[in-house]
Chain A
Amino acid sequence: MREFAARFALMLVVYAGFATREPSYYHVAGIASLLDGAFLTGVIALGVGLTMVAGEMDLSVGSMAALAGVLSIKLETFGVLPALVASTALAALVGAAQGWFIARLRINSLIFTVGTLIAFRGFALLLAGEQTVNIPIADLDATDFLSAHWLFLSPLGGLLIVVALLIFGLTTFTSWGREIYAIGGGRTEARAAGVSVRRPLVLAFAMSAGLAGLAGAVMSLQSDSATPLGYDAVLLDAVTVCLIGGVALRGGRGSVVGIMIGLFTLRFLVSGIASLGAPFWAQSLASGVLLISLILAEGGYAFLRRRRSFAGVGGLRGGMS
């Protein structure tokens, strides 16, 4: 838990910093809008985070969210929930296939998902006829429940919490989840120990695509429309959240707790700046500065620790080589 202490403290500092100026930060409605605002990035970050822990990265989540969004609007005629479930399941299935190919063909996932990033966008455009798709006006009421609020909890906020708990359980208590860590921490070592590389890759990519699909479908249904060109910035936000939350790019390291801390640190910062009336460029600049200063701080901390370990005899070989 100590590894999260500093990050958690940072999150609280960001929160407190804005809460003193922004009363909405501790009002029920304010917290509700913070939670709702965190839904899209949060759910997608949890999925992308899994692929990062596996030592890979799913770049196609933005296009997948857009594709699933368009699909869910098209399927809405069969009911809102069936549309939601069907688009999510389909996205997860495509993601599983993606993971299977990456494992089977031993392709670098960055290359593979750059391909699908472009291709899924094409599919979304094809499906939507290159224009924004809308729910029939008669059905508009059917999706209202997605915008309902009970205190600070809406279906969006609730779904984010449920997804986080599920992924937490998966990564902490199941061998399938731990295998994702194993292949990320040492691919060859895991293989030598008899861990199949295919299953964790399929699982991680199915989850990342499925969660992207879920997020895209929920957001589209909530707003009753989907544009095939949407969600093009969500990948970077999600990766930023993961990095702030301590997910290692080289794999093997990262946790749901960390990702959630990263998510809310970023949300507190961005919406705080927005609510102070700062222009959009300031939000973007602030996220970038946050990420870079956090990584610099981590590097500095590691450097200090190495310096300190030099003082002892034992650290020599282990520390240097």
Chain B
Amino acid sequence: MLRMQNIAKRYGATLALEHVDLEVAAGEVMALLGENGAGKSTLVKILSGLEHPDAGSIEVNGAVRAIASPGQAKAMGISYVAQELSVIGCLSVAENVLLGDTTIGVFRSQSRLARLARPYLERVGLGYIDALRPAESFSVAERQLIEIARLLSRKTRIAILDEPTATLSETEIDRVKAAVRALAAEGCAVVYVTHRLGEVFELAGRATIIRNGRSFPAVATSSVTVDQLIEMMLGRRLDQMFPERRGGGGDELLVIKDCLCPGLTAPISLTLRKGEMIGFAGQIGSGANAILKMMAGLLPIQQGSISLHGKPFTPSSAHASIAAQIAFCSDDRKRDGIFAARNLFENLTAPTIDGISRLGVIDRTREAVRARGIAQQFDIDVNKLGRLAGNLSGGNQQKVALGKWIGLDPSILMVEEPTRGVDVGARAEIYRHLRRQTDAGLSVLFSSSDTHEVHGLADRVGTFFRGRLIDLAPASTMTVESMTRAITHPDLAA
């Protein structure tokens, strides 16, 4: 169906793609893997007509074609689903499925659209929804499925899916996987970009790996292991995903007693020690992040008491929490984590802007000194500090989002989804940085929907299900399997 050969692309002085081959057959799911910056997105852009290759040939259905524009790509049956959804909240589900469809004509009633959209919705497992309701009333997963229904409606022959499951929880991911399989079963060639290597083995028959702008011949997923895939992506062995634990066991720092806040259905008690890292695992909506948000002053505390350093403490606002040296790094990096349009100097010093200003005037020298200090701690290239945060890769953005809080000299660092949208190599790096902070005496609370991450990283692990803390125990006494059971159906766990 699709054959791209010898593709090369240069942006100014940087060679984004040097020599890439990609071949996908009809009805096949081909995983496209690589670290951030390896050239995946450039390749995807070329395929969807947004960029033009400097060299190489593209064959679609046996004929050599040039893809000059996104419109032309669309006409050839190539559809691209970006990480950011293109479902429009205020339009109805039916309108969203048929958006941009020019064959229906100018006059269209909602009921007719709903009738036309119905078969496509059924094929992605959304037969039960009311297609007349606005898309914004549905969950992220359902919107993702609406998007795949749109691909079906367009008679897509080549579908490029860019991390469709990045923001979904386990059960939701299963629905998207089923829809991707449906897409392939209809004879569509699927290029599947993901950072979740588990999905590769479940969904894709073969995987193409890109490293530094060069592709490797596609490998059958049945003949490789996860470690081999990672080695091909990184070009080296990742000997250790998770850093060694040193056993965090200092004095009691934070004692939460019978606390309840929105998102929780049962009161929670826990003790966090100095230098300890506690990870909460749970699906989206399970309340795993509720305590974090409450401690950050973003959710009201409804009952219970908190003591910090042995003294009572009420997180009444974000300001109060920051003043108490509790830092919170949100999972919504784009909105809460970085100032995309500002440079790294400013980003890294933002939480402590008072400390580098005199009478409200920012001292640029002190700003630079402080930013360099943080950058060194977090392995951020000091020469890149003048760059805009929005132009960095996901992994580097996350390092900035985390690192800026270190300047505050916090006693507790709370992180939601520490590695969302971060590739394997940068992931290990972020784990190492977090561990280094706890070794230096900082206490960390984090929540994640990735059970492997919680199990591998945290000293103690809490599992959440429907607003309840199911279990809180040292990671060594748990397995990923027992945790997965606890966060999906804990009643069977006992």
Residues of A with Cβ closer than 8 Å to B? Answer: 172-176, 178, 181-182, 184-186, 188-190, 192-195, 252-253, 310-311, 313-318, 320-321
**Quick check: is B177 within 8 A (CB to CB) of the other chain?**
no
- Chain B proximity of A254: nearest CB distance (Å): 9
Decide: B287 and A188 in contact? CB cutoff 8 A. Answer: no
Pick the contact of B99 from A194, A252, A317 — CB < 8 Å?
A: A194
Decide: B100 and A195 in contact? CB cutoff 8 A. Answer: yes
Pick the contact of A173 from B91, B107, B331 — CB < 8 Å?
A: B107
- Chain A proximity of B463: nearest CB distance (Å): 15
Decide: B88 and A186 in contact? CB cutoff 8 A. Answer: yes
Pick the contact of B106 from A176, A189, A317 — CB < 8 Å?
A: A176
Other than the given A185-B89, A313-B263, 7 more pairs (CB < 8 A) read A182-B95, A190-B88, A194-B99, A320-B293, A320-B299, A321-B330, A321-B331
The interface residues of chain A lying within 8 Å CB-to-CB of B335 are 321
Identify which of B18-26, B79-87, B238-246, B309-317 touches chain A. Answer: B79-87
Pick the contact of A175 from B105, B139, B284 — CB < 8 Å?
A: B105
The interface residues of chain B lying within 8 Å CB-to-CB of A182 are 88, 91, 95, 99
Q: How far, in angstroms, from A313 to B266 measured CA to CA in the complex?
A: 11
Decide: B265 and A193 in contact? CB cutoff 8 A. Answer: no
Q: How far, in angstroms, from A311 to B286 measured CA to CA in the complex?
A: 13
Given contacts A173-B108, A194-B70, A194-B99, contact A313 B265 (CB under 8 A): yes
Pick the contact of A313 from B108, B139, B285, B332 — CB < 8 Å?
A: B285
Decide: B88 and A185 in contact? CB cutoff 8 A. Answer: yes
Pick the contact of B262 from A178, A192, A195, A310 — CB < 8 Å?
A: A310
Q: How far, in angstroms, from A185 to B298 measured CA to CA in the complex?
A: 27
Q: How many of chain B's residues touch chain A, expressed as a range?
A: 35 or more
- Chain A proximity of B137: nearest CB distance (Å): 10
Decide: B91 and A178 in contact? CB cutoff 8 A. Answer: yes
Q: How far, in angstroms, from A190 to B95 measured CA to CA in the complex?
A: 11
**Quick check: is B289 within 8 A (CB to CB) of the other chain?**
yes
The interface residues of chain A lying within 8 Å CB-to-CB of B71 are 194
The interface residues of chain B lying within 8 Å CB-to-CB of A314 are 285
The interface residues of chain B lying within 8 Å CB-to-CB of A185 are 88-91
Q: How far, in angstroms, from A174 to B109 measured CA to CA in the complex?
A: 8
Q: How far, in angstroms, from A185 to B85 measured CA to CA in the complex?
A: 13
Q: B262: nearest residue on chain A (CB-CB)?
A: A310
| A175, A188, A190 pick with most chain B CB within 10 angstroms | A175
| B70, B100, B107, B332 pick with most chain A CB within 10 angstroms | B100
Ordered by A's residue number, 20 sampled pairs between the chains whose C-beta atoms are within 8 Å are A175-B104, A176-B106, A181-B91, A182-B88, A182-B95, A185-B88, A185-B90, A185-B91, A186-B89, A192-B80, A194-B100, A310-B262, A310-B263, A313-B285, A313-B466, A316-B262, A316-B263, A317-B284, A318-B139, A321-B331
Given contacts A176-B106, A321-B331, contact A189 B298 (CB under 8 A): no
Decide: A192 and B86 in contact? CB cutoff 8 A. Answer: yes
Decide: B150 and A193 in contact? CB cutoff 8 A. Answer: yes
**Quick check: is B462 within 8 A (CB to CB) of the other chain?**
no
Q: How far, in angstroms, from A30 to B265 measured CA to CA in the complex?
A: 59
Q: How far, in angstroms, from A172 to B80 measured CA to CA in the complex?
A: 28
**Quick check: is B193 within 8 A (CB to CB) of the other chain?**
no
- Chain B proximity of A55: nearest CB distance (Å): 11
| B84, B88, B293, B466 pick with most chain A CB within 10 angstroms | B88
| B86, B108, B265, B331 pick with most chain A CB within 10 angstroms | B86
Decide: A317 and B289 in contact? CB cutoff 8 A. Answer: yes
Q: How far, in angstroms, from A310 to B84 measured CA to CA in the complex?
A: 26
**Quick check: is B190 within 8 A (CB to CB) of the other chain?**
no
Residues of B with Cβ closer than 8 Å to A? Answer: 70-71, 74, 80, 82, 84-91, 95-96, 99-100, 104-110, 139, 150, 262-265, 284-287, 289-290, 293, 298-299, 330-332, 335-336, 466-467
Q: How far, in angstroms, from A174 to B86 measured CA to CA in the complex?
A: 21
Q: How far, in angstroms, from A181 to B89 measured CA to CA in the complex?
A: 10
Q: How far, in angstroms, from A218 to B85 measured CA to CA in the complex?
A: 46
- Chain B proximity of A113: nearest CB distance (Å): 23
- Top 7 closest pairs, chain A to chain B, by CB: A194-B100, A310-B262, A316-B263, A192-B86, A185-B90, A252-B90, A189-B86
Q: How far, in angstroms, from A175 to B94 measured CA to CA in the complex?
A: 12
The interface residues of chain B lying within 8 Å CB-to-CB of A190 are 86, 88, 99
The interface residues of chain B lying within 8 Å CB-to-CB of A317 are 284-285, 289
The interface residues of chain B lying within 8 Å CB-to-CB of A311 are 262
Q: How far, in angstroms, from A307 to B250 measured CA to CA in the complex?
A: 38
| B262, B287, B293 pick with most chain A CB within 10 angstroms | B262
The interface residues of chain B lying within 8 Å CB-to-CB of A173 are 107-109
Decide: A313 and B298 in contact? CB cutoff 8 A. Answer: no
Q: B147: nearest residue on chain A (CB-CB)?
A: A193
The interface residues of chain A lying within 8 Å CB-to-CB of B100 are 193-195
- Chain A proximity of B158: nearest CB distance (Å): 15
The interface residues of chain A lying within 8 Å CB-to-CB of B285 are 313-314, 316-318
The interface residues of chain A lying within 8 Å CB-to-CB of B332 are 321
Q: How far, in angstroms, from A313 to B282 measured CA to CA in the complex?
A: 13
Pick the contact of A174 from B89, B107, B293 — CB < 8 Å?
A: B107
- Chain A proximity of B311: nearest CB distance (Å): 28
| A182, A190, A193, A314 pick with most chain B CB within 10 angstroms | A193
The interface residues of chain A lying within 8 Å CB-to-CB of B466 are 313
Decide: B107 and A193 in contact? CB cutoff 8 A. Answer: no
- Chain B proximity of A107: nearest CB distance (Å): 19
Q: How far, in angstroms, from A321 to B330 measured CA to CA in the complex?
A: 9
The interface residues of chain A lying within 8 Å CB-to-CB of B264 are 313
Q: A194: nearest residue on chain B (CB-CB)?
A: B100
Decide: A181 and B107 in contact? CB cutoff 8 A. Answer: no
- Chain B proximity of A127: nearest CB distance (Å): 36
Pick the contact of B90 from A172, A174, A181 — CB < 8 Å?
A: A181
Pick the contact of A188 from B86, B89, B90 — CB < 8 Å?
A: B86
Q: How far, in angstroms, from A87 to B287 measured CA to CA in the complex?
A: 61
The interface residues of chain B lying within 8 Å CB-to-CB of A192 are 80, 82, 84, 86
Q: How far, in angstroms, from A188 to B83 measured CA to CA in the complex?
A: 12
- Chain A proximity of B290: nearest CB distance (Å): 6
The interface residues of chain A lying within 8 Å CB-to-CB of B104 are 175
Q: How far, in angstroms, from A52 to B299 measured CA to CA in the complex?
A: 34
The interface residues of chain A lying within 8 Å CB-to-CB of B262 are 310-311, 315-316
Q: How far, in angstroms, from A174 to B110 measured CA to CA in the complex?
A: 10
The interface residues of chain B lying within 8 Å CB-to-CB of A175 are 104-108
Q: How far, in angstroms, from A185 to B285 measured CA to CA in the complex?
A: 26
- Chain A proximity of B272: nearest CB distance (Å): 21
- Chain B proximity of A261: nearest CB distance (Å): 19
- Chain B proximity of A248: nearest CB distance (Å): 9
- Chain B proximity of A267: nearest CB distance (Å): 28
Q: How far, in angstroms, from A193 to B150 measured CA to CA in the complex?
A: 9
Q: B286: nearest residue on chain A (CB-CB)?
A: A313
- Chain B proximity of A308: nearest CB distance (Å): 10
Q: B298: nearest residue on chain A (CB-CB)?
A: A320
Q: How far, in angstroms, from A313 to B263 measured CA to CA in the complex?
A: 5
- Chain A proximity of B95: nearest CB distance (Å): 6
Q: How far, in angstroms, from A190 to B84 measured CA to CA in the complex?
A: 12
Given contacts A182-B91, A193-B99, contact A174 B263 (CB under 8 A): no
Q: How far, in angstroms, from A310 to B302 measured CA to CA in the complex?
A: 11
Q: How far, in angstroms, from A317 to B331 measured CA to CA in the complex?
A: 10
